[in-house]
């Protein structure tokens, strides 16, 4: 049995897991469903939230990215963030305040031989590059969600600038 997902309306591509007797679980076949979902979305990513709502102290999300996903470089104020790669390959790129690359962390699942887990307690600018057709990660961060806790880099294209975002991604590869 795959994950039960709430039918409550959220932003496109965001679903909340349903708990039965305090337990939620997921099978690998759900990743295929999430890949199809991500392909059809403008953001090219699909997310299953395992936290109950945006006010929770810990936010756990399984995120499936299509290779054309653009994650605008950003940094978090007073947040920790961790990534665990479940499927596919990604690269986390860290930048200085002017947009110059400081560090790259290539990642894959635990069988890939690459780093499969990353935790950041810094407030550095960063982005996620998708290196395979799809990648699925478990992201964990502290809540509650506060919109202005995430700052977007002025030196990077807006997510709505499709052509600029695509060119920017290519420049980072």
pLDDT for residue 3: 47
In a domain, 148, yes or no: yes
- The answer to pTM > 0.85 is yes
Query: Residue 98: what pLDDT?
Result: 96
User: Does 131 reside within a domain?
Assistant: yes
Residue 155 located in a structural domain: yes
Q: Does pLDDT of 9 surpass 60? A: no
Q: What is the pLDDT of residues 128-156, one digit of tens each?
A: 999 999 999 999 999 888 777 889 999 99
In a domain, 1, yes or no: no
Q: At 161, give phi and psi (nearest 5°).
A: -90, 80
pLDDT tens for each residue of 31-78: 999 999 999 999 999 999 999 888 999 999 999 999 999 999 999 888
Does a structural domain hold residue 2?
no
Q: What is the DSSP string of 40-87?
A: HSTTSEEEEE-SSSTT-SEEEEEEEEETT-----EEESS--EEEEEEE
Q: What is the CATH number of the domain that holds 20?
A: 2.60.120.10
The C-alpha atoms of residue 30 and residue 134 are separated, in whole angstroms, by 13
Give the structural domain span for 123: 14-172
Domain count, the chain: 1
- Give residues with Cβ within 8 angstroms of 129, minimum separation 6: 71, 90, 91, 92, 93, 169, 172, 173
What is the tally of helices (H) and strands (E) in the chain?
A: 2, 11
């Amino acid at each position: 049995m795959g994950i039960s997902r709430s039918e409550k309306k959220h932003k496109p591509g965001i679903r909340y897991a349903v708990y039965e007797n305090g337990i939620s679980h997921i099978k690998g076949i759900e990743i295929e469903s999430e890949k199809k979902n991500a392909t059809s979305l403008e953001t090219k990513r699909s997310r299953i939230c395992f936290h109950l709502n945006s006010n929770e102290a810990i936010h756990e999300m399984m995120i499936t990215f299509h290779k054309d996903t653009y994650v605008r470089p950003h940094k978090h104020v007073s947040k920790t963030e961790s990534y665990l790669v479940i499927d596919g390959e990604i690269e986390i790129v860290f930048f200085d305040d002017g947009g110059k690359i400081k560090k790259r962390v290539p990642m894959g699942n635990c069988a890939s031989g690459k780093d499969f887990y990353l935790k950041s307690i810094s407030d550095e600018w960063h982005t996620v590059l998708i290196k395979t057709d799809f990648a699925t990660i478990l992201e964990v961060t502290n809540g509650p969600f506060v919109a202005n806790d995430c700052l977007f880099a002025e030196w990077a294209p807006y997510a709505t600038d499709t052509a600029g975002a695509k060119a920017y991604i290519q420049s980072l590869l």
